[in-house]
Chains A and B, each alone.
Chain A
Amino acid sequence: MGLAKRIIPCLDVDNGRVVKGVKFVDIRDAGNPVEVARRYNEEGADEITFLDITASSDDRETIVHVVEQVASEVFIPLTVGGGIRKVDDVRRMLNAGADKVAINTAAVFNPEFVKEATDKFGSQCIVVAIDAKQVSKEGEPLRWEIFTHGGRKPTGIDAIEWAKKMTDYGAGEILLTSMDRDGTKIGFDNELTHAVAAAVSIPLIASGGVGNLQHLVDGVKQGGADAVLAASIFHFAEYSVGEAKAFMADQGVEVRL
């Protein structure tokens, strides 16, 4: 028995409400992030990630209150991403009770921000989120680049080089999303996951594309991920976190049961 692979449900939160519909039969208010987080915790989630997709910066304060409430009653690690642009954003989230903060676009435009944040708060609480897309053509060696703005804007930065650089800058963990797979439900891009996992010495969370429980297993076994993140399969109650873990354990993946 060793370190368990982590299963991380991700909640998209817009203006303090969970979006993308959560269908739990016995939850009163499926849009309430606190109730949803409590449920995931009861099902055995190893961590919970909140992605704040609030468009207006005026409404950003709402996610702080969400984190405060969740952290007062759910005692597993909490990660918050979305709109983290400066050291003060990191501090606000940590003070609210987040354990880790995910930095995405801001890292691309200002890599020094990652250094600054890890110097100030420690590597353990800084996750660098990487959105990558395959840019190599058929027959060419595989290559992926970083994209920003939800996968719309290319940056020309090589995903593997970027992951190494962010590790050198002090990141404690990488959250890797395949923009080719995100929302497709056909499984993680395991070649991308493995290429990055093998290139860095810090833990890697695979994200983007999960449609069934076998995909979670593949992310670990083929992709070499230390943790797997999924949103929709849990939100729509297609599977509970508990079912996911039981399935993974059956397939020989070490999980916390």
Chain B
Amino acid sequence: MSHRIAVLDYGMGNLRSVSKAIEHVAGDAEVRVTDDHEFIRAADRIVFPGQGAARDCMIAIGEHHLNQAILEAARTKPFLGICMGLQVLMQHSQENDGTDLLGLFDGDVVRFDGKAIGDNGLPLKIPHMGWSPVDQSAGHPLWNGIDSGSRFYFVHSYHVKPKDASLTAATTEYGVKFVSAVSRDNLFAVQFHPEKSADAGLQLLENFVNWDL
């Protein structure tokens, strides 16, 4: 079965590592970094990465006319959001003096307050950068073969606060306990970078490629 995976390209950041990591686990699937609406509509799976500031992301999504395509894909086929690709699914971000997002999920994106003290006696650094444990909230096909508490690589200063607690697929501690993965039906979205998280990350991507709804 020929299998097509679209990595959504809206000009925010470098998508090469994401596409390379997916190609690494995707067998003979066609992995394309694209903003082509036809390809996105026809693709079997969608990966929605993103880096940078919330406002720039929203502007770039608008310029590529991807708002509807993203929302449609997020409701209809296996969909994996990564980093900003999780955050922009929420309603509103504190970033850039307040930015309206795609609004698929109720809830805000808030900044780490920088008040928590680390084990070396210094305030926790922002961004939260490095490998932190991801505690799985419930079983999910994308966690197959990955122990709860496995470390993944994070780089972010903001985190999501979904209102609906049943969306939470994992949490992580960094001064506060925050939601590091959400899932609903065909959608899974993570704050960390599976494409940079060595074996655990590749396992998650492989699980996504093999995820049958």
Contacts and interface: CB of A to CB of B under 8 A. Distances in A.
Interface string A201-242: 111100000000000000011001011000000000000000
A121 B125 contact: no
Interface in B140-155: 149, 151, 153, 155
Contact of B151 (A4, A41, A77, A121): A4
A206 B14 CA distance: 27
A6 B151 CA distance: 12
Interface string B175-204: 000000000000000000001111001100
Nearest to B121: A224
Interface string B109-126: 000001000111111111
A224 B52 CA distance: 28
B130 A97 contact: no
Contact of B51 (A71, A124, A203, A226): A124
A21 interface: no
A27 interface: no
B112 to A, nearest CB: 10
Given A122-B52, A203-B129, A75 B151 contact: no
B211 to A, nearest CB: 19
B151 A256 contact: yes
A186 B13 CA distance: 40
A221 B119 CA distance: 9
A73 interface: yes
Contact of B130 (A41, A72, A198, A227): A227
Given A72-B20, A97-B17, A2 B122 contact: no
Interface residues of B, number: 40
Given A1-B133, A224-B120, A71 B127 contact: no
Interface in A98-150: 99, 121-125
A197 to B, nearest CB: 6
Nearest to A45: B198
Given A76-B196, A203-B125, A220 B14 contact: no
A187 interface: no
B102 to A, nearest CB: 20
A158 interface: no
A221 B120 contact: yes
A77 B53 CA distance: 20
A1 B13 contact: no
A201 B198 contact: no
A41 B24 CA distance: 16
B30 interface: no
29 contacts: A3-B118, A3-B174, A4-B151, A5-B130, A6-B131, A46-B130, A71-B17, A72-B20, A75-B20, A75-B24, A75-B202, A96-B16, A97-B14, A97-B20, A122-B52, A124-B155, A125-B51, A172-B155, A173-B129, A197-B120, A201-B114, A201-B125, A202-B125, A203-B125, A203-B129, A221-B120, A224-B120, A226-B129, A256-B151
Closest 3 CB pairs of A and B: A122-B52, A256-B131, A203-B125
Given A2-B132, A76-B153, 19 more contacts: A1-B149, A2-B119, A2-B174, A3-B130, A5-B130, A72-B20, A73-B24, A76-B197, A94-B14, A95-B14, A97-B14, A122-B13, A124-B127, A125-B51, A201-B123, A201-B125, A203-B130, A220-B120, A256-B151
